[in-house]
Structure 1
């Protein structure tokens, strides 16, 4: 069968369009481009082999996998930390919080303090509308907890999936929530020291002093979901 010029042109257009379309990974997978760029999965949707409970060798059973997401099913599971520590990195993940829920993403976490947040800066996760910790803008979701408030444009309602990106390179910390930049500050700078001095962490010895630490997912007693957890080490 001989194709008309018009038919050939249409076929060529469809082929070029298909080739130019971006390739998106399914949940908890990496695209070929991400793999080539050095990204790694911290959760594959099937097991939590790259995580353990804070100060414990394994993951508490109250952390389960539900519908392809790491899920805190009940309080008392303890905070999760990545088995590996990181210094310079870019981290992306998706999260969803239950109604009246509270949780967080922590960086540079160590196990020297009593709690995971003793020394680790936290990116807040919150039901901004219902949780009682919504009185301060630095306590709303996406905020660098008790230090830098996130813009309202970055907020979503409880029960909706959110995306978070955290980049830490040579102490320069930048955070985005739902593609909106929420934090840009250098740890240890005069600006940082002023923020700490005016926060609850002012009298906490060792806070944010580590140069290397674990990624943490907080158990604040409320149901929370995490998926698509990816990390790329820098330098």
Structure 2
């Protein structure tokens, strides 16, 4: 009986040690390129700055009710990410006031001044733009320039917009030249930048005189200040593996 008790005790100690060893093993940390970077959480604007500026453009953009808002009563100043991105997934929410216009750009370079001359933002003729718009009241009603479109190039499909003032969810993915734009859970744009189809579209567009159109493969993400009130919230981005 003593021998049997000793065996049971020894077995119990071995199992206990093995269990403790298993508990002490830390979980593997996720790879850095898969981590989400919060660009705006409803409070902090530390991840963003004004185009051509070192700091956030206070009063031109402001935070209210956990939303990042473009002030229509100031001079235009776009917002860009402090970090630069190549392949990425961007998630955000947006809403517009009546007849408001804005857009999201990527791979942006700060090589032009803010003197736009016509109320538009710098580089708008140099880069792909995912359009943000009040489709009901904006004067330009072409589908290829409507909300969710790849501005002046591809009209959105399967689009369902929220009413003015309500937030739409959006997702922009760039991965090795392939681009997807999702709006309210539905994919509305899908294209490859250097494909023959895109080259043909560019050759027939207002961008045809610009041989350097979106030639950069990495850069800032930009949120456009077009002179009207637009709202952004819950903005985050993660880098994609090569």
Aligned match of 1:96: 95
1:217 to 207, 217, 223: 223
Alignment of 1:39 with 2:42, yes or no, is no
Aligned match of 2:175: 169
Aligned match of 2:162: 156
Q: Deviations over 1:83-102 (max 9, x none)?
A: 11100000010000101111
Aligned match of 1:73: 71
Q: Deviations over 1:116-139 (max 9, x none)?
A: 3232211000000000122x1111
Alignment of 1:147 with 2:153, yes or no, is yes
CA contact (8 A) 2:33 2:240 kept: no
- Cα deviation for residue 149 of structure 1 reads 0.4
CA distance in 1, matches of 2:53, 2:191: 32
Partner of 2:228, secondary structure, is coil
CA contact (8 A) 2:135 2:147 kept: yes
- Cα deviation for residue 79 of structure 1 reads 0.7
Aligned match of 1:230: 236
Q: Deviations over 1:71-116 (max 9, x none)?
A: 1122414111111110000001000010111111111111124513
The CA RMSD over aligned residues, in Å, is 1.8
2:137 to 106, 123, 130: 130
CA distance in 2, matches of 1:172, 1:90: 12
Aligned match of 2:123: 116
Alignment of 1:184 with 2:193, yes or no, is no
Larger radius of gyration: 2
Q: Which runs of 4+ in 1 moved over 3 A?
A: none
Structure 2's unaligned 5+ residue stretches are: 1-29, 114-121
CA distance in 2, matches of 1:185, 1:153: 16
Structure 1's unaligned 5+ residue stretches are: 1-32
Tell me whether 203-212 or 35-44 shows the greater mean CA deviation. 35-44
CA distance in 2, matches of 1:87, 1:36: 11
Query: How many residue pairs end up in the alignment?
Result: 201
Partner of 1:164, secondary structure, is strand
Q: Deviations over 1:186-228 (max 9, x none)?
A: 1111111112112211112421111001111001100011011
